[in-house]
Amino acid sequence: MQPLSTRTEHFTDSVIRRMTRVSAKYGAINLSQGYPDFNPPSAILDHLAEVSHENFHQYSITWGAQNFREALAEKQSRLMGRQIDPNTEIVTTCGSTEAMMAAMMTVANPGDKVIVFSPFYENYGADTILSGAEPIYVPLHPPLFNFNVVELEAAFRQHPKALILCNPSNPCGKVFTRAELELIADMAEKYDTYVITDEVYEHIVYAPYQHTYFATLPGMWQRTISCSSLSKTYSITSWRLGYTIAPPEITDRIKKVHDFLTVGAAAPLQEAVIPGLRFGQEYYNDLLATYTRKRDLFVEGLDAIGLQHTVPQGAYYILMDISEFGFDSDLEFCEVLARDVGVGAVPGSSFFREPVNHLIRFHFAKRDETLCAALNRLETIRKKIPARK
Ligand code: GLN
């Protein structure tokens, strides 16, 4: 038999999603793969029930149902402060996962370089490999996860085709300041580089931090592909609804890539979520208030146990320092944590390019009672996982 593709030879599965299976195996409270254990808004669920008996069971327009794109364009035009054209500037995708992949395939040729900040959401590594591109990693230095301008410019000097910007950032919770984004914008302009954003946590930015859409910076609209999703905003991660927003010339190409990759996102779900896209600002304020409370609850819980951790500015992840346990492998630590303490986490090494293995990631998109139950279990962590010398 001939060998399978070299491109996929060194692929591992997603460790994030593997940890969900590990959690299930041990009956652990799953704070690994980031998704809520509470319901989406009832207006969306009610509409889902209604549309199930309507005529939405066949393909929608490949780049997204007309109604969906119009509602989305209205919402994003308001937030991004420019008129987004639902027909020529939006492609509806199967989650931001597909949006990012379609964006990469649209922009990069095999051999092209792409800047990725590290730590990074693990899909970006796979996206670059699948599109034949080569990642250049630029570290975000803990504890504040700032980048070094000299290191960033050194990466730009290699003439990358694109930079991937996850803002707010998974897993480190960084919210890029306007000044930092302007610095990136200057370099993108100077070195003629596309910027592919992942802004799925756009509505989960804790005070006093604020989200700036990269595409809204002066001159950046024409070189930015904004990717996002409805998963986190409306707590519907399995609906796989995402999108790209980009100028017509780029969108035209993304439409074709998307058409051949997946044909389209689920039509009934695009229809069902429309009341959500039409929610007023109050919904987003409530969402943020909910996540702020959950963040504080979880952070205070870890503090009470005396565990060291980051405090996110955005998104819903916390990195916890496990140095005191003396493990050589954070992957092994997470397996032991799930088995013996009963809490699922993701080893930090799956996010860092650098040899970092003293951090693990928890998410707190869970009901308060789930978070309290997890904290109760974590109180026993030092007894159940004795420190290794
Ligand atoms: N973004 C989520 C996380 O980092 C999960 C996304 C996914 O598994 N598709 O856990």
Q: Whose CA is nearest to atom 4 of ligand 1?
A: 34
Cβ 86 under 6 angstroms from ligand 1: no
Q: Is the CB of 16 under 6 A from ligand 1?
A: yes
Residues 319 and 355 placed together within one structural domain of the fold: yes
Residue 198 included in any domain:
yes
Strands 29-30 and 224-229: what pairing?
unpaired
Ligand 1 center–CA 57 separation, angstroms = 27
Q: Is residue 173 part of a domain?
A: yes
Q: How far does residue 54's CA lie from ligand 1's centre (Å)?
A: 31
Domain range holding 300? Answer: 15-40+281-382
Q: Is residue 387 part of a domain?
A: no
Domain end residue (candidates: 224, 258, 277): 277
pLDDT value of residue 350: 94
Is 169 part of any domain?
A: yes
Q: What is the CATH number of the domain that holds 256?
A: 3.40.640.10
Query: Based on the domain organization, do 183 and 326 belong to the same domain?
Result: no
> Does residue 235 share a domain with residue 177?
yes
Question: In angstroms, what is the span from residue 298 Cα to ligand 1's centroid?
Answer: 19
In a shared domain, residues 69 and 91: yes
Same domain, 149 and 285: no
Same domain? 148 vs 224: yes
Q: 45 lies in a domain?
A: no
Atom of ligand 1 nearest to the CA of 121: 4
**Structural domain ending residue among the three candidates 236, 256, 277:** 277
pLDDT of residue 60: 96
Evaluate whether residue 1 is within a structural domain.
Answer: no
**Cβ(97) to ligand 1 under 6 A?**
yes
350 close to ligand 1 (CB < 6 Angstrom): no
Return the sign of the alpha-carbon dihedral for residues 91, 315, 31, 370: negative
Question: How many angstroms separate the alpha carbon of residue 126 from the centre of ligand 1?
Answer: 14
Q: How many Cα neighbours within 13 Å face the side chain of 343? A: 25
Structure tokens at 356: 């970092």
Based on the domain organization, do 35 and 102 belong to the same domain?
Answer: no
Residues 240, 146 share a domain: yes
Domain boundary among 254, 277, 300: 277
Same domain? For 260 and 296 the reply is: no
Separation CA 121–CA 153 (nearest Å): 22
pLDDT digits (tens), the chain, 389 positions: 999 999 888 888 889 999 999 999 999 999 999 999 999 999 999 999 999 999 999 999 999 999 999 999 999 999 999 999 999 999 999 999 999 999 999 999 999 999 999 999 999 988 998 999 999 999 999 989 999 999 999 999 999 999 999 999 999 999 999 999 999 999 999 999 999 999 999 999 999 999 999 999 999 999 999 999 999 999 999 999 999 999 999 999 999 999 999 999 999 999 999 999 999 999 999 999 999 999 999 999 999 999 999 999 999 999 999 999 999 999 999 999 999 999 999 999 999 999 999 999 999 999 999 999 999 999 999 999 999 97
Whether 346 is in a domain gets the answer yes
The pTM is what?
A: 0.96
- CATH of residue 352's domain is 3.90.1150.10
For residue 5, being part of any structural domain is answered with no
Q: Which of 93, 121, 351 to mutate to test the pocket of ligand 1 (most atoms within 8 A of CB)?
A: 121
Cβ–Cβ under 8 Å, residues 206 and 311: no
33 and 76 fall within a common domain: no
183 and 288 housed in the same domain: no
What is the total count of domains within the chain?
Answer: 2
**Do 290 and 259 reside in the same domain of the chain?**
no
